[in-house]
Amino acid sequence: MAQFITFQPSDFFNLITYAGNTSTNAVTGVGFQPDFVWNKSTTDVLYHYAFDTARGATEAIFPNGTDTEAIGANYLTAFDSDGFTLGDNTSLNGTGKDFVSWNWKGGTSSGIATNGSTTITPSAYSFSQTAGFAALAYTGNATAGAKLAHGLGATPTMAFVKNLGTTDDWACYQKYIKATAPEDWWISTNSTPEALDNVAMWNDTQPDDVNITLGNGTSVNASTNTYIMYCFAPIKGHSIFGRYMGNATTDGIFVPTNFRPKFIVIKRLDGTTGWVMISNPPNTENLDADNPLLYLNSTAIQSTVSYVKVDFVS
């Protein structure tokens, strides 16, 4: 008899808002212990901050910038059962500032699957095959065609990589970045250029259900350099990745997701506009109104743009 596994998407992803207090701040309401926490002030011009259990609390990276990893005792100090605890860093927890936090749950931190092709096993990781998410810490080997085990048990559709010790750009893989040979291309989250063709990123090789292939570029795989990768596979009713063609009309187009999304990220592939991040707060009506948005590649505050309207539908 076939078995069907069901789960609540909010068991593995949730967004919350919180107010800073420039003191110890135990932020709750996530609903689970997160393994990847991404925070941004909505009211002040401040960096995006990202933390994960693969590297450990207090170790921050910055999705909007090329900065190296920074360790701060007053950053995020603990991953808690229903959220996380912050120190008094004002960029994450300043009095009078409001913040949004996106949170993902992994949970599996041992026993990652490898095969005869695997050449890099992550040094630390947390993944969930149920939710299609993995945070992978690894050391590069500067070998074109290196195979990094990802643990998802399904082929990744999207991955973000950052060299922790250099100011290289973030490197993003997306299965639908181009209609053909998407593995030849990459795009940066910290800037706005169009997608670029570069074999040094993914070695012009598609990932599979065990490994993601790396080139020998310093952004993804320099010798002895340390990296973090956030890797995603689509899960029906929980997450989806794709591309669409705009129509430049007020009514816009319908993009099917087969569920009502809570968080949408959009990047124009044939232009230099920024990465738009739009959150759908819980328990709100679906109104045809300007959506508050943030930009992944920018420190700008949350704002509304008259030509950005998204109806979050089922």
pLDDT tens-digit profile, the chain (314 residues)? 444 446 788 999 999 999 999 999 999 999 999 999 999 999 999 999 999 999 999 999 999 999 999 999 999 999 999 999 999 999 999 999 999 999 999 999 999 999 999 999 999 999 999 999 999 999 999 999 999 999 999 999 999 999 999 999 999 999 999 989 999 999 998 988 888 999 999 999 999 999 999 999 999 999 999 999 999 999 998 999 999 888 888 778 888 888 888 899 998 888 888 898 988 765 455 555 567 889 999 999 988 776 677 788 87
Q: How far apart are CA 269 and CA 70, in angstroms?
A: 30
What letter would DSSP give residue 216? Answer: S
165: its two tokens: 């010790």
For β-strands 303-304 and 292-295, DSSP reports them as: antiparallel
SS3 category, 140 = coil
Q: Distance between terminal CA atoms of the chain?
A: 30
Task: Give burial (CB, 10 Å; 0-12/13-18/19+) of 103.
Answer: buried
Is the pTM above the cut of 0.75?
yes
Residue written as tokens 């949970």? 107
Strands 133-139 and 124-128: antiparallel
Which structure tokens are listed for 155? Answer: 């082929």
62 CA to centre of own chain: 11
Phi then psi for residue 125, to 5 deg, are -165, 165
